[in-house]
A = this chain, B = another copy of it.
Amino acid sequence: MILTTSSQDLYNEYADKMQKIADVKYSAALLQWDQETYLPPKGAGFRGRQLASLSEIAHEWFIAPSLGILLEELGSRGDLADDQRRNVELSLEDYNKQKKFSPAFIRRLSETASRCFHSWLESRSANSFAVFEPQLREMVQLKREEADLAGYEQHPYNALLDQFEKGATVAFLDGVFASVRPPLKHLLDRIADSRTVDNSFLHGHFSKQGQWDFGLQLIRRLGFDFEAGRQDLSEHPFTTSFNCYDVRITTRIDERDFGHMTWSCIHETGHALYEQGLPPGYYGLPLGEFASLSIHESQSRLWENNVGRSLAWWQSIYPGLQTAFPDELQTVSLERFYQGINRVGPSLIRTEADEVSYHFHVMIRYELEKRLIDGSLDVSEVPSWWNEHYTAWLGVTVPDDKRGCLQDVHWSHGSFGYFPTYSLGSFYAAQLFAAAVRQAPGLQESILGGDTAPLLAWLREHIHSYGRRFTSAELCLRATGENLEIKHFLDYLLDKYVNIYKF
């Protein structure tokens, strides 16, 4: 039957199935968004099972043998258009990975994640890891099962890394981190030995409404399309997308910390600009999806740091900020502001860390996750291991779990293997930004005038418009002419901090 059907008919059948699966997956994503923004507390229980049912359906449909047969057949047809062929290839790859998990397993993962998330919220209120421990133990156990089901070579953590960054392994990341750690440590030491930089002005009083309004202005200015997305509040800022015409970001506002809202807004906007820039017309198909998590993070980190912590950009933005918060900032010069927002120092909270020590936060989580997943560290040991390493690697004493091992939402979602993409993303960001500056004439001048449209256009052309067509490495090579090179990141840091710290 299938042999006599035209390739285009088969392709349409495939696209139709994928789009219905996308409908269910994106519905689940909306339930999740609601869970973290508006869900009333008593609704959490049933929300958990609703999410689990949707995950189960989407998975069941995707691993249906009939879809497998269709994909195999389409894969053997020589008369598909280039983008059709690529969609089929990527879907088949996904299919072969996903069919290793039963729908019941996916349901368990989803149910556990919902419980785990609420337990994480409770443990943060109670400021006690002990509240979270039983749920986290269950989650870690499940992720170890997942690694076994997925299969791996050398290290079980490789199976989880691969889900966020195709092909990433412990061996690769150990190498990357080993090469970046010494120069970063050296830089930190040189900075510590030089002058001090003040950023106390970020910790005055910045009203909630004032921050909210300023944040919206920033987002709009960076090119976020509010007709195709929105911003809301949540405990932990995040970006989610239900298609390129409905991309949602969240932020959190602390009246005593202007920085948190500002750079989390810019970070999430970076993610959102990528999602809004994905090629329309591929709803539910791989070419309509993002390339990888590290490329996603390269977008958020690029906007957050290479743009959002640059002197050039703030040149035109800062006067408006001073007008919005005259009591706090009228007497703070642009120069002092710029230095303050780039202050380097020991820190407890990853999302508030400077661009140098940030990667030690990531490396600690990476080392910890490896050990949890290979079983060499017990869940009960997380706080002590965490606290020891924060002292040893970052020189800080962790005062409590909320500012320690409970700070990130990721584990409660079951996202083990995600954190390394934050560092990879920063490295890609520096390399992409340097390439954009090289390639696009006038780009730096436009940023100086507060106009980032040319930068966005470059990213749309070289990254966003390809969807998932290329891997991270391929995208990087095509866009910059080189493989991933840490030196762009290190050069960028050195250039910035020599200037600020005058060492």
Contacts and interface: CB of A to CB of B under 8 A. Distances in A.
Interface of A: 19-20, 23-24, 26-28, 30-31, 34, 38-43, 45-47, 49-50, 52-54, 57, 225-230, 232, 242-243, 245-246, 283
Nearest to A232: B38
Nearest to A225: B42
Given A43-B245, A246-B39, A53 B20 contact: yes
A227 B53 contact: no
Given A20-B53, A49-B19, A230 B27 contact: no
B40 A246 contact: yes
A46 B245 CA distance: 8
20 contacts: A19-B49, A23-B50, A24-B54, A26-B46, A26-B50, A27-B27, A27-B50, A27-B53, A34-B34, A38-B230, A40-B229, A40-B230, A42-B227, A42-B228, A43-B242, A43-B245, A45-B245, A46-B245, A47-B246, A50-B242
B31 A246 contact: no
Contacts of A53: 20, 23-24, 27
A276 to B, nearest CB: 9
A30 B46 CA distance: 13
Interface centre among A20, A232, A283 (most CB of B within 10 A): A20
A279 B199 CA distance: 55
Nearest to A39: B246
A333 to B, nearest CB: 37
B49 A23 contact: yes
A283 B45 CA distance: 11
A40 B243 contact: no
A176 to B, nearest CB: 38
Interface centre among A28, A46, A227 (most CB of B within 10 A): A46
Nearest to A246: B43
A43 B226 CA distance: 11
A407 to B, nearest CB: 26
A243 B242 CA distance: 24
A226 B27 contact: no
A19 B56 CA distance: 14
